Each structure stands twice: as structure tokens, then as C-alpha cells.
Amino acid sequence: MTTAIAELAEERVVEGIYAVARKRRLRTRGGSPYLALELVDASGRIEGRVWNDVELLDGRFAEGDAVRVLGRVERFRDRLQLEVRSLEPAGDVDPGALAPAARSDLGELDGFLDFLAGELAHPGLRATVARVLDDAEVRGLMRTLPATPDGHHGYAGGLLQHTVGVATICHETAQLHPRLRRDLLLAAALLHDVGRTRELSPGPTFAPTAEGSLLGHVHLGVRLVDERSAALEPELRAELLHAIASHHDPRAARTAEAAVLYHANQLDAVAATRPTNE
């Protein structure tokens, strides 16, 4: 019976089916080769070490594969680590299904996203957002990709959850501050991280694509929205693209909406990651 990674406890021997998110072949200072793995399943991540039969085992699986593992959980530098005793490929298991997943209900989040998009009154912004978020491929990727590969919301569906979070905060802020152009702000919030769908590849590795690592999600998002907003009035289109383009750079923001988006993004990221008590 397989044990979920989130339930692994120190000093216990466990068996499980996990996906290999990272694999590196290293040597100890004493010269012996070993494998350093990052193992994942829907419940979380754990470091793994293979000390024996390295040559043999290394040939049997690659990054991104699902594997059946028997090992013992140890504590190393305040973190749990799995000392692998035996390991074999689990060819019958879909490794994508083993990517770390959101604890929230993705269906509910999808509903929130639709609700927020439905709040848009401006026909052009509403249509532009629809051309992106009603695209089944984009929408599917939002349910399977993280918001960041190894930071906040770093699990499948994190992209959807973070998008809902930022858009909700922006929606609330627009109600508190009627001077803000609500529809511009909300549309920018709903689309701000859509470039992640072009930057990252599917789980369990979520590795950046070649294009993704060179161009980054900000530029890729601007490009994607640019392609689908030709029908918008030019000035509003430039404002929408501007808010997306500057959502990681507060000094570049030239409108209140762009600056608010920057801070809402920071707020949601910090709320998801900072320890509640260090």
C-alpha cells in the first residue's frame, strides 16, 4: 500500500509510488556515486537518496517518470529525506497524475474564475478575457500548472488558484476605491499570469520550456494577450498590456491599476508562502 508524501514520518520504512521531479547523479566526498532525487506526489515533495546499485538503477528511470519505491524516512538538516532501498519504474502509472496538486477544489476555483470574468461590464475587455480564459487549452493548463515552478502556489492548479486570489483582491480593492477603473484592473488581474501557460511544461517536473527560460512569463503573457486583443480600442489595449507587463516591476507602473495589480500579486504570493511563525 502506497503512503502519501505528506504523511511520511521520520524513522519509518515506507513504500510508495511517486514521480521523479529531479534526478542528479552525484558522488559523496568519499568518492561513491549516488542519486539525488526529488520525489513528488499529489500531496507534496520529498528529497530522496539512492546509495546502492546506483549504476544499475540510474539507467532504469528518467526525470518525469513514475517509480515504485521502498525506503526509510530520515531527518537531514531539519527536513525529511527518503533513503531509497529499492526502486523500480512504475510504467503503468501516469506521472502527470503524481504532480503536487492544489488542496482546494479546482472545480470551485473554476467557478470563481468564471464569476469574476462575468463581472466585467466593458464589452471589449470582457471579450478579450473570454478569448483567453474560454480557450480550453489555456484553461486546462491553469488547472495543471503551478503559479511559480518553485515558489508560491508551486503545485498543479496553483496557477488557477493564484489567478482567482489576485483577481478577488483586485475586485475588492476596486470596490473600496471607486476611482479605479474596475474593469481594466480586473481584466489585468485575470490575465496577469497567463504567460505561465507558455513558460512551464506539465508536471511532475513543471520545467521551463526553452522559450520560457529565455523570454519569461511576463513577456509571453503580453504576447499571448496581444494576439487576442486586436478588437480592443488601441489605448485600452495598451493599458491592459502595460499592467500585465509591469506586474513584477512597481517602478515601471504608470497607472494606478498597474500599481494595484503589482501589490495584489505580492500580497497573494506572501499570503501563500510566508511561514505563520518563523
Three state DSSP letters for 104-135: CCHHHHHHHHHHHHHCCCCHHHHHHHHHHHCC
| Residue range at the interface with a second copy (CB under 8 A); choices 60-68, 121-129, 138-146, 253-261 | 253-261
Q: Can you tell me which residue has the cell 511576463? A: 218
Q: Can you tell me which residue has the cell 483577481? A: 167
Closest CA to 80 of 88, 90, 72: 72
Q: Does 223 participate in binding a second copy (rule CB under 8 A)?
A: yes
Is residue 245 within 8 Å of residue 259, measured between CB atoms?
no
Q: How far is the CB of 179 from a second copy (least distance, A)?
A: 7
Q: Nearest 10 degrees: CA dihedral of 125, 131, 136, 140?
A: -40
Residue 99 CA to residue 45 CA, distance in Å, equals 9
Query: Considering only residues 6, 214, 230, 231, which one is a binding residue for a second copy as defined by CB under 8 A?
Result: 214
Cβ count within 10 A of residue 60 = 12
Max Cα separation, the chain? 67
| Residue range at the interface with a second copy (CB under 8 A); choices 92-100, 115-123, 194-202, 259-267 | 259-267
Q: Where are the beta strands (DSSP E) in the chain?
A: 13-27, 33-41, 44-50, 66-76, 79-89
Residue 274 has which C-alpha cell? 510566508
| Residue range at the interface with a second copy (CB under 8 A); choices 94-102, 125-133, 186-194, 250-258 | 250-258
Question: Which CB sits closer to a second copy, 26 or 121?
Answer: 26
Query: Considering only residues 12, 22, 83, 136, which one is a binding residue for a second copy as defined by CB under 8 A?
Result: 83
Question: Which CB sits closer to a second copy, 86 or 213?
Answer: 213
Q: Does 255 participate in binding a second copy (rule CB under 8 A)?
A: yes
| CA-to-CA separations, 99 to 21, 149, 208, in angstroms, rounded | 8, 12, 15
Query: Checking phi first, is residue 274 left (phi over 0); if not, alpha (psi -120 to 50) or beta?
Result: beta
Q: How far is the CB of 263 from a second copy (least distance, A)?
A: 4
Q: How far is the CB of 246 from a second copy (least distance, A)?
A: 9
Q: How far is the CB of 175 from a second copy (least distance, A)?
A: 8
| Single-letter residue type at 14 | V
Residue 25 has which C-alpha cell? 547523479
Residue 7 CA to residue 80 CA, distance in Å, equals 11
Query: Of 39-68, which residues contact a second copy (CB under 8 A)?
Result: 49, 51
Show the site string, 113-152: x = touches a second copy by CB under 8 A, - = not: ----------------------------------------
Show the site string, 146-185: x = touches a second copy by CB under 8 A, - = not: ------------------xx--xx--xx--xx-xxx----
Question: Which CB sits closer to a second copy, 95 or 246?
Answer: 246
Q: Does 77 participate in binding a second copy (rule CB under 8 A)?
A: yes
Query: How many helices and strands (H and E) does the chain possess?
Result: 10, 5
Q: Does 248 participate in binding a second copy (rule CB under 8 A)?
A: no
Q: Which residues bind a second copy (CB under 8 A)?
A: 24-31, 33-34, 49, 51, 74-78, 81, 83, 164-165, 168-169, 172-173, 176-177, 179-181, 210-211, 213-216, 219, 222-223, 226, 234-235, 238-239, 241-242, 245, 252-257, 259-260, 263-264, 266-268, 270-278
